Each structure stands twice: as structure tokens, then as C-alpha cells.
Amino acid sequence: MNIAIVGAGGWGTALACVAASNSHRVVLWTRDATVAEEITTRRENTLYLPGISIPDRVETSVVPQTIERADVVILAVPTQYLRSVLTTYDVPLRGKLIVNAAKGIERGTHLRISQLLRAVAGTASDEYVVLSGPSHAEEVARCVPTTVVAASTSESAAEIVQRSLSTPTFRIYRSLDVVGVELGGALKNVIAIAAGIVDGLQMGDNTKAALVTRGLAEITRLGVELGANPLTFSGLSGLGDLFVTCTSRHSRNRLVGERIGRGESLDSIVASMKMVAEGIATTVSALELAGDYGVEMPIVEQVYRILFEGKDPRQAITELMTRQMKREH
């Protein structure tokens, strides 16, 4: 197949390696000519995925028109930049199977990626697949065994992605729950920031376990209210992705929280990062969505207060621990 990948960050580059290993013709599009040149000449992306040899089958391009010949287009652009990339560069998407590999909710509009693509590019639901799950790019590119889920309202579309990208070290399951898979991938980043705060404060395993468990409860409550299947959140794009993001040294969102817990300001943290931590913007969207739908999300609310109102993290934890007592379920 002809597969185009939009975005040559760590995840886009890792997926290019996966697709090339299955003998597909791959074009990796980036607006950064320096990155494209380095991959072409040195077969490495030192800025976003250092130490990984990129197969010769991966072609790079800075010209959006090269995407025209693709059968499948994988979008690996951070959620908050996707709209501007698609419109500014007039990325050709019509008539193609679109696979979204980003995890987030657009700030301001509260749109999931499937909704954003419908509004911006007219992408039909049966032409859209979301790929999500516990999958750090650094490990996928090194062929560390990884499992993810491809969700679409079209079983055949999900099967195409499953067949074309699955390898002996990258196993893909199918799902029909686009809403649940998109929300699980997006909202877990907010909880990962909270997990990082716990690490930065040097609190214990008990604290993190409680946070992850109750965080999953919040994600599930909002997801069900928005039409997701609750079982999705016990799967790869829910519990699986939440676990890895809250515990891994590769997690940018967890690292943001850890640095907050150590006393750094959000502005200084963001200024020092070369890659995007999606959970920062998603915290705003999640809290606003929870308010719109009357869903209680106390952990998300406290993360928002810490990030954007300068609340003391220890005070936030105390307030969570002393909330009104209730039954677990």
C-alpha cells in the first residue's frame, strides 16, 4: 500500500518504521525541511527519535501534494496544531482512509479528532480510524512488543489498519467504539500529569495507585456520558494507556506533573520542552466538558487549579482526600 504520514515527530517517525517493515511504500511529510533532510541523508531523526535507524523505504517530503498518491493517511500531528496544519498546507485527505494517531481534545471547540476532521476536511465516519493504546514511540521504534487498538465505525476500515500495520512486535486489536478510544487516549494524559505531581512530591505507591484507579473512574464517567462503551475504558486505550502514561519515564505528561510537584512553573516547563504534552490543553477541555455535561471530575479539577491557578499541589491532594465520603461504585 501507499501510506502517507503527516508529522515527523517521534510517533509519526515510529509509525513510518512500522509501516515500512511491512513493505509498504511510505512517505513521511513534515513542514520542517531540516528534519526531512536529516532523515533522507542520515536515516535518523535526532530531534524527535534519536538512535533509531529509519528504513530506506521511508521517503520524506515537505510538499503536501506527495500525499495525493497515498491510500492511507496517518495523522501524527499534536491535536492543538492539527486544524492549522491541515488548512495552512491544504493537506489532501478526501477519498482516503484517515488514521488518527494523536491523543487530545481541541481546546475551545471541545472537538475530538474525528469531529474535527469532519468539520475541517469532510471526513466521513467510515473513512476514519483512531489508533490508540499504551505505545511510547521510543519503544515501538525499537520493536518492543506493543499492543494497541484501532477503532472505527466501519469494521472493514479497522481491519485494513489492523492488517496493514500489525507486525510480530506491534499487535493491533479492533474496536467499534470511536468515542471511547478517543476519550481514553485524551483524558489519560490529564491523570498522568496528576501522577507526575505525586512523583514530584515523593508520595508513595499507595497514592499513585489510588490516583490511577479514581482517575479511571472519572474518565469512564465522562466517556459514558458522551456515548462511549464503559468496557472500552478497561481495555488498551483506557486502563492500558493510563497505566503506561502514569508510570513511564518516556511520558511527557507525567514529566510535566513531576516538575510541577518539584516546584517549577508551568511556563518554564513548557518553554524547555521540544515536544508537546497534550494533557496540558486537554485539562482545560476536560474540565469544561465535565461542566457542560454535569459530570463530577474532582481530580481533573484539581489538576486544572494547580496548572492554571497556581494552587499548592499538597493542598489539592488534601482536598481530594477529605471530600465527602461515599460508596466506591
Reported as a single tens digit per residue, the pLDDT across 43-88 is 999 999 999 999 999 999 999 999 999 999 999 999 999 999 999 9
- Say if 311 falls within a structural domain: yes
Residues 160, 253: one domain? no
Sheet holding 58-61, edge to edge: 58-61, 25-29, 2-6, 72-75, 97-100, 128-132, 146-151, 170-175
Structure confidence by residue, pLDDT tens digits, 98-117: 999 999 999 999 999 999 99
Q: What is the mean pLDDT of residues 170-182?
A: 98
Which of 176, 207, 229 is the last residue before a domain boundary?
Answer: 176
Which of 176, 207, 234 is the last residue before a domain boundary?
Answer: 176
Structure confidence by residue, pLDDT tens digits, 188-222: 999 999 999 999 999 999 999 999 999 999 999 99
Which of 121, 144, 176 is the last residue before a domain boundary?
Answer: 176
- Say if 15 falls within a structural domain: yes
Task: Band the pLDDT of 18: cuts 50, 70, 90.
Answer: very high
- Say if 327 falls within a structural domain: no
Cell of 232: 472500552
Residues 219, 278: one domain? yes
Structure confidence by residue, pLDDT tens digits, 282-308: 999 999 999 999 999 999 999 999 999
- Say if 163 falls within a structural domain: yes
- Say if 326 falls within a structural domain: no
In percent, the amount of the chain with pLDDT more than 90 equals: 98
* CA distance linking residue 162 with residue 174, whole number of Å: 7
Q: Give the residue numbers spanning the domain of 303.
A: 184-321
Rg (the chain; Cα; Å): 19
Structure confidence by residue, pLDDT tens digits, 223-255: 999 999 999 999 999 999 999 999 999 999 999
Concerning whether 208 is annotated as a catalytic residue, the answer is no
- pLDDT of residue 318 exceeding 90, the answer is yes
Residues 163, 266: one domain? no
Question: Which DSSP symbol is given to 237?
Answer: I
Which residues lie across from 172 on neighbouring strands? Answer: 148
Residues 197, 161: one domain? no
Residues 230, 272: one domain? yes
Residues 263, 284: one domain? yes
- The pLDDT assigned to 45 comes to 97
> How many other CB atoms are there within 10 angstroms of residue 16's CB atom?
31
Q: What is the pTM of this model?
A: 0.95
Residues 105, 66: one domain? yes
Task: Band the pLDDT of 314: cuts 50, 70, 90.
Answer: very high
Residues 6+ apart with CB under 8 A from 188: 103, 215, 219, 238, 241, 242, 245, 246
- pLDDT of residue 158 exceeding 90, the answer is yes
- Say if 81 falls within a structural domain: yes
- The pLDDT assigned to 274 comes to 84
> How many other CB atoms are there within 10 angstroms of residue 282's CB atom?
28
- Mean pLDDT taken over the chain: 97
> How many other CB atoms are there within 10 angstroms of residue 189's CB atom?
28
CATH number assigned to the domain comprising residue 147 = 3.40.50.720
- pLDDT of residue 118 exceeding 90, the answer is yes
Distances in Å between the alpha carbon of 250 and those of 10, 153, 156, 166, 246? 11, 31, 33, 23, 10
- Say if 101 falls within a structural domain: yes
- The pLDDT assigned to 275 comes to 85
Q: Per the structure, how many domains does the chain have?
A: 2
- The pLDDT assigned to 166 comes to 98
Residues 8, 127: one domain? yes
CATH number assigned to the domain comprising residue 265 = 1.10.1040.10
Residues 188, 317: one domain? yes
- The pLDDT assigned to 276 comes to 87
Residues 190, 291: one domain? yes
With cell 516546584, the residue in question is 263
Catalytic entry in 103, 188, 208, 326: 188
- Say if 328 falls within a structural domain: no
- pLDDT of residue 263 exceeding 90, the answer is yes
- The pLDDT assigned to 254 comes to 97
Residues 146, 221: one domain? no
Residues 167, 212: one domain? no
